[in-house]
Amino acid sequence: MPDVKVRFAPSPTGHMHIGNTRTALFNWLLARKLGGRFMLRIDDTDRERSRAEYEQSLREVLTWLGLTWEEEARQSARMARYDEVVARLKAEGRVYACYETAEELEVMRKRLLSRGLPPIYDRSALKLTAEEIAAYEKEGRRPHYRFKLSPGLIEWDDMVRGPVHYDAANLADPVIIRADGSYLYHLPSVIDDADFGITHIIRGEDHVTNTAAQIQMFEALGAPVPSFAHLPLLTGKEGKLSKRLGSLGVRELRAEGTEAMAICSFLAKLGTSEAIEPFYDLDSLAQSLDLSRLGRSQPKFDEAELKLFNTRFVRSLPFARVKDRVNCDEAFWNAVRGNLETVAGIAEWEKICHQKLKPVIEDKALTDSAAGLLPPEPWDETTYNSWVEALKTATDRRGKALFHPLRKAITAAETGPELKVLLPLIGRCRVCNRLKGLEA
């Protein structure tokens, strides 16, 4: 389907977090699977909250994750186009001015709720006389504008939710322009999607009602209506919507050593009927995408589970996937990866095994005995235990009094990787020299 085109449309009012990363990922995967294009659209109509540093951060995270884009646009550069469309819709009676203040609208809303009615705007602005409008404007009121919904059933076949329908009579005419003249999300998004030929839109299920109104906007523009998919929102491990999911930063996860493909693999399968397994490239992950496997219930996201999965991911990584990031050969990587939590963690192993260290000798009698009892090579992971058992017999040392001086002599550190794994990697000559207090 070469005509497929999707978009990710973040507002640069904060850093990328798990929620919008998931949205970007699903859009990118769908485009790749269907042979389409992925567009980045910066929704920066909120002039007060939009920041250049947030936009730069968004771009950096998308690039790090591998979610590259073929085309981009920004809404702040398209105001003239929005004004043009609004002028036409005003002339056609689909956009109309309203003069109620926020306080008056709140009173209306509470009155309707008290009567057991849905808080739907009553379109009283359409009944204003020219004299009433003039009086409002004389007192300094500036209108906000609403899109007028047409009566009838609004239906679509959602790629996740299945058949969806709304009666327009149960929906309020959405506000599209604030009293200060700034645009809200609804109409500019539709104009952009129509102008740029967006064919599929994947977003959170909190947009379902917006979609109903926006379908009528597409129709009012005479534009094709895209296919929609609404993802169930993530919840916290406690089962409630978690504010933290709206702020858990991908930049922080990256800094902690979480792998980009671990994040993508985890988010792509969370909430589906499929097992969460490591994928090492986005193309393979895209080919596995099946929106029909997404459940309707809200999936639980647990940061601790992501970190555990990341450890599993790192330990399964083939050397070819890390060779440009580590200072070791394939044999060394394969020997130690089962003990890593992050790829960066291999630096500690490389230092201990391959670089000269100044050993710390706390118990010379013990380390001298240890050097003398070192078995001949070849060594493997059983060497350490047999060596220690011999030391126990020869020195009558046990516990910390035995293990701590050995670690300080061999690694010059209080803690670190297991010595049973380290010994074969360091080698007998270097271990012997360190036990004797020689820099090696």
Residues 193, 167, single domain; the answer is no
Q: Which of 131, 106, 136, 134 is nearest to 121 (CA)?
A: 106
Residues 59, 124, single domain; the answer is no
Q: Which of 294, 321, 348 corresponds to the end of one domain?
A: 321
Residues 254, 109, single domain; the answer is no
Q: What CATH number corresponds to the domain at position 119? A: 3.90.800.10
Residues 298, 383, single domain; the answer is no
Q: Which of 97, 243, 112 is nearest to 179 (CA)?
A: 97
120 part of a folded domain: yes
The pLDDT of residue 46 is: 83
85 part of a folded domain: yes
Residues 128, 213, single domain; the answer is no
User: pLDDT (tens digit, 9 = 90+) per residue, 374-387?
Assistant: 999 999 999 999 99
Residues 166, 34, single domain; the answer is no
User: pLDDT (tens digit, 9 = 90+) per residue, 63-101?
Assistant: 999 999 999 999 999 999 999 999 999 999 999 999 999
- Those residues with Cβ within 8 angstroms of residue 217's Cβ, 6 or more apart along the chain or in another chain: 147, 186, 187, 190
**Neighbour tally for 278: CB within 10 Å:** 18
**Structural domain of residue 170, as residue ranges?**
80-177
94 part of a folded domain: yes
Q: What CATH number corresponds to the domain at position 397? A: 1.10.10.350
Residues 172, 84, single domain; the answer is yes
Share of the chain above pLDDT 90, in %: 90
User: pLDDT (tens digit, 9 = 90+) per residue, 130-160?
Assistant: 999 999 999 999 999 999 999 999 999 999 9
Residues 50, 196, single domain; the answer is yes
The Cα 440–Cα 438 span in angstroms is 6
309 part of a folded domain: yes
279 part of a folded domain: yes
Confidence of residue 236 (pLDDT cuts 50, 70, 90): confident
Asked whether residue 247 carries a pLDDT value surpassing 90, the answer given is no
Residues 153, 300, single domain; the answer is no
State residue 153 phi and psi, 5-degree precision.
-90, 135
pTM: 0.90
User: pLDDT (tens digit, 9 = 90+) per residue, 43-54?
Assistant: 998 888 899 999
Q: Which long-range contacts (CB under 8 A, 24 or more apart) does 302-305 make?
A: 302/236, 302/237, 303/248, 304/237, 305/237, 305/266
Domain count, the chain: 4
Three-class secondary structure assignment of 125-140: HHHCCHHHHHHHHHCC
Residues 95, 167, single domain; the answer is yes
Residues 119, 159, single domain; the answer is yes
User: pLDDT (tens digit, 9 = 90+) per residue, 206-231?
Assistant: 999 999 999 999 999 999 999 999 99
The pLDDT of residue 136 is: 95
Strand order in the sheet with 5-8: 5-8, 37-42, 71-74
Q: Which of 169, 199, 231 corresponds to the end of one domain?
A: 231
423 part of a folded domain: yes
Asked whether residue 2 carries a pLDDT value surpassing 80, the answer given is no
Q: Which of 132, 147, 177 corresponds to the end of one domain?
A: 177
88 part of a folded domain: yes
The Cα 427–Cα 159 span in angstroms is 58
121 part of a folded domain: yes
Residues 35, 155, single domain; the answer is no
Q: Residue written as tokens 């009173």? A: 107
The mean pLDDT of the chain is 94
